[in-house]
Amino acid sequence: MKKTIKAALSLLIAIVTVFSCIPLSLAADSEENGLLGDVQGNVPKMNITIDSGYSLDTIHADKEAKIRAHVAVNGAWDSSFNMSSTGVEMKTRGNSTFGYMKKPYQIKFDSKTDMFGMGKAKKWVLLANYVDGSFIRNKIVFDIAEEMGMPYVCKSVFVDLYINGDYKGVYQLCEKVEIGDSRVPLKNDLGVMVEMESAKRVAEEDFWFTTETTGKPFVYKEYNTDFEDAPAEDVAKVRSYLEAHINAIEDELYNNGKDWEKIESLIDVDSFIQFYFINELTMNVDATLASTYFYMDGPDDVLHMGPLWDYDRSFGSYDYADSGYEQGTEADFLKNITDCSDEYRVEWFKMLFQYPEFVERVNEMYGETISAAFDSDRIGRTIDAYESVLYNSLMKNYVDEGWAIFHSISEAEFFSNERDAANYLDYTVNYIKNNIADRVAYLDSAYGKDMPVLYYTQNAGRTYSGGSMTDFGAMRSFSMYVDGIVDGSVTYTAMGSSLSSSTAGDGTVISGNGIYLLKFSLEGNIANYYDLQYRVYSNGSWTSWKTEDTWAGNRGISIDRIQARLVESAPLAYGRVVFANGEYPEISTVVGNKIALPDLPEGIEGWYDNAELDGEAITELTVTAEEATVYGKRTVVEIIPGDLDGDGVTTVKDINIAKRLVAGVATATENQILAGDLNGDGRFNGVDANALQRLIAGA
């Protein structure tokens, strides 16, 4: 039964109070609590005092303005984290978040300072998380990313912020995304960090460029120091190699044949896949629009994706319907969002999924590390722990200060009493947990090391795979097939302007002036384990997802694109093939698969599926149960006593072979045992060797 945060977690709050001087240790590998990361023991106070002659209004009116202030921290769960008054430069920050009444800030110490054990640095960010009523979306995403092994994930803690003695709400004190020893430790003198940005905002920036193929803007964030502080000649070197590199990526993705080795030489594939799955889980509306960071450690490096930033509009907090986007677990978010939102996004991931090697690595990584990090029960317990720590601060935000609590960007509520605020917080937190559980359930069904790969080919010769879309204008011809661990194929029927009906199987091409109706189905063993879902794009919109043997499209309107995907319907069942003779190890395979039998070994003239060796010999076998046995029919060989070399006569050469066998230098074959076993005891040893010597001597 669902409980309110206050009621369900009152015991945890009491525990936190008792142990307020030490961290509430909730390690990721702890079986006792199973939480993702260490959860702080309480919410310390950060006090900022504006220096004389400066005003907070100055930076609230101008994001570029800076003022002087002093920072102190007290009440931390570890007393070593407390801080006496220290001088800082203070400014506001953010893009859309700058416009909200609860402002985000940046503080910059005069010298590198360690805050809460997160490492020494000058710049720190105070996230307001105004559009996230739970205040924990960013924190949860960082935890999950760290769990999956993503490098340079931002560390953060929650603080109650006071400015000039006035309470300003709970904030997330966070590392700034930047180059630095404790941040992103690039070593090359020309190492650089850039941000994929919205075209609507780049006019505010000093250093940026747009790519040649898509026109996507990238903003330079740092090269060793801030760009405005760097020598002009070094800036020119950085811009020259970085812009050429990103243009080469887009040129390969959009314009050239699918050369996987080229892609591997340009990007850090694993970091792209980690980013992909984080955004599939979170359905983050900013992904590939803005707040999407990349870095290169000099001109000889590949392009890395990360660190992650800006996830307050995730886990269902955004009304996707406003962009015509299909919300829910059915959506392949990052492949499709470019079709349903604005022109400023890029289709890099849609294009990457056209490389079978990328799809294979995606499935491999999901099975190896990512699915373990996407444990929705464990993530839910982490959320509960964070909310227990934040509860009193959140109530003060909602009730005393009048900050809005958001379930989605389009909904805001203000509360006059703690009961209503706690109930709404409970609703919001459960909404997030349910959203995560739904997304994880879908991802578990659509990715994994054994997931087959769907392929599309069309008359231009490209291959489309992994559930991505075809993209070749009004459809004229194509084929579709499936490759993977499970036997089977895709069949389809199409209707078009110059063909009444055509059915194609694996690899067969159909053609016509335009296809307007289409349906798919799976045949073979794959249909026992996977469902096929697909949809088509025509007349400016996508149809709903269709299941097997249902038509998609509109009569008379040509289909421009298709998207098809497999989802797991039943866990794979494995059987094994055991060889009764022939000295072959057993073979594991999916039940229902037809496997080719190995080449016949010496002395075996045929494989059979029965011990009686009846019927015709077989070269392949369908595994229909947990175990199948294959029997080898032995080749009839005339055995001459003492003929160890098989030349048809017994000579001194056989004695030499016998000596090697007895000495253990060689191992007797089955035929050598039969020929050499002169005393009939079923084995060959020194007694038989002596008998062989006497046989040859005529004794």
User: What is the C-alpha separation between 116 and 121, in angstroms, rounded?
Assistant: 12
* pLDDT at residue 1 greater than cutoff 70: no
Does some domain include residue 33? no
How much is the pLDDT for 412? 57
The predicted model scores a pTM of 0.81
DSSP 539: T
pLDDT value for 319: 56
Average pLDDT for 181-195 = 93
Backbone angles phi and psi of 238, in degrees to 5: -60, -50
Main-chain phi, psi angles of 419, to 5 degrees: -60, -50
Residue with tokens 């010769």: 461
The encoded tokens of residue 330 equal 């059915």
Token digits of residue 122: 């000058």
Nearest to 684 by CA among 661, 663, 664, 665: 661
Longest distance between any two alpha carbons in the chain, whole Å: 122
Measure the CA–CA gap between 646 and 433, rounded to whole angstroms. 73
Please indicate, yes or no, whether residues 669 and 581 belong to a single structural domain of this protein: no
Residues 480, 552, single domain; the answer is yes
C-alpha 249/C-alpha 230 separation (Å) is 26
Alpha helices in 112-223 (DSSP H): 137-147
Task: Specify which of 131-135, 321-325, 441-445 reaches the highest per-range mean pLDDT.
Answer: 441-445
* C-alpha closest to that of 530 among 445, 596, 441: 445
Per-residue confidence (pLDDT) for residue 21, from 0 to 100 = 28
Query: Phi/psi class of residue 444: alpha, beta or left (left: φ > 0; alpha: ψ in -120 to 50)?
Result: alpha
Inter-CA distances, 410 with 73, 122, 321, Å: 35, 36, 11
Q: Is the pLDDT of residue 118 over 90?
A: yes
In whole angstroms, what is the distance from residue 199 CA to residue 94 CA? 16
Q: Is residue 169 part of a domain?
A: no
Cα–Cα distance between 219 and 194 in angstroms, integer? 5
pLDDT tens digits, one per residue of 546-567: 988 899 988 888 887 788 888 9
User: Which pLDDT belongs to residue 369?
Assistant: 93
Which is more confidently placed, 66 or 557? 66
Residue 314 lies in a domain: yes
pLDDT recorded at residue 102: 85
Q: Which residue among 524, 550, 568 closes a domain? A: 568
Mean pLDDT of 519-526: 90
pLDDT of residue 464: 47
Mark whether 333 and 462 lie in a shared domain. no
Q: Do 536 and 505 reside in the same domain of the chain?
A: yes
One domain for residues 596 and 675? no
Lowest mean pLDDT among 19-28, 45-54, 582-591: 19-28
Residue 613, in any domain of the structure: yes
Strand 156-163 and strand 45-50: pairing? parallel
Residue corresponding to tokens 């990349």 = 294
Q: Give the end of a domain, one of 538, 568, 598.
A: 568
Are 194 and 329 in the same domain? Answer: yes
pLDDT greater at residue 16 or residue 678? 678
pLDDT of 13 reads 31
Tell me the three-class secondary structure of 619-662, residue by residue: CEEECCCCEEEEEEEECCCCCCCCCCCCCCCCCHHHHHHHHHHH
Report the pLDDT value the prediction gives residue 332, as an integer from 0 to 100: 76
Residue 671 maps to a domain: yes
Structural domains counted in the chain: 4
> Does residue 691 share a domain with residue 587?
no
Lowest-confidence region among 9-23, 186-200, 302-316, 630-644:
9-23
Residue 77: per-residue pLDDT: 93
Other C-beta atoms lying within 10 Å of the C-beta of residue 602: 10
**What's residue 513's pLDDT?**
59
Whether residue 25 is contained in a domain is answered as: no
Residue 624 structure tokens = 């229909």
Mean pLDDT of the chain: 83
Contacts of 583 (CB under 8 A, 6+ apart): 601
Q: How far is CA 353 from the centre of its chain?
A: 13
CB atoms within 10 A of CB 619: 12
Same-domain check for residues 462 and 519: yes
* Residue that is written with structure tokens 């096929």 in the block: 532
* pLDDT of 419 higher than 60: yes
- The answer to whether residue 504 sits within a structural domain is yes
Please tell me the least confidently modeled range out of 24-33, 111-120, 248-257.
Answer: 24-33
Instruction: Give the model confidence (pLDDT) of 610-640 as tens digits.
Output: 999 999 999 999 888 888 899 988 877 778 8
- pLDDT at residue number 495: 83
For strand 594-596 and strand 620-622, is the pairing parallel, antiparallel, or unpaired?
antiparallel
C-alpha radius of gyration, the chain, whole number: 34
- Between CA 36 and CA 376 the distance in angstroms is 11
Computed from CA positions of residues 190, 194, 200, 204, in that sequence, does the dihedral angle turn out positive or negative? negative
Same domain, 200 and 245: yes
**pLDDT exceeds cutoff 70 at 474:** no
User: Before 307, cis peptide (omega within 30)?
Assistant: yes
Residue 278: the pLDDT is 97
Looking at residue 503, its pLDDT comes to 44
Same domain assignment for residues 199 and 309: yes
Lowest mean pLDDT among 56-65, 449-458, 483-492: 449-458
Residue 6 reports pLDDT greater than 70: no
Q: Are residues 661 and 551 in the same domain?
A: no
Alpha helices per DSSP H over 37-120: 56-61
Q: Above 50 in pLDDT, residue 125?
A: yes
Give the residue, 370 or 401, on which the prediction is more confident. 370
Q: Is residue 44 part of a domain?
A: no
Q: For residue 192, which phi and psi values (nearest 5 degrees)?
A: -145, 150
Tell me: pLDDT of 204 over 80: no
Instruction: Please give the average per-residue pLDDT across 427-440, as a whole number.
Output: 92
Q: Which two tokens stand for residue 456?
A: 């599309």
| Domain of 264, in residue numbers | 185-356
| 263-279 pLDDT, tens digit each | 999 999 999 999 999 99
Which helix (DSSP H) or strand (DSSP E) does residue 480 occupy? strand 477-483
State residue 254's pLDDT score.
Answer: 85
Asked which of 307, 329, 356 is the last residue of a domain, the reply is: 356
Tell me: do 596 and 687 sit in the same domain: no
pLDDT above 70: percentage of residues in the chain: 82
What are the E-state strand segments in 179-288?
Answer: 192-196, 208-210, 217-223, 225-226
Express each pLDDT in 318-364 by its tens digit.
655 544 455 444 567 787 766 554 556 788 998 888 888 898 999 99
pLDDT band at 260 (very low <50, low <70, confident <90, very high): very high
Q: What is the mean pLDDT of residues 592-604?
A: 88
Structure confidence at residue 130 (pLDDT): 86
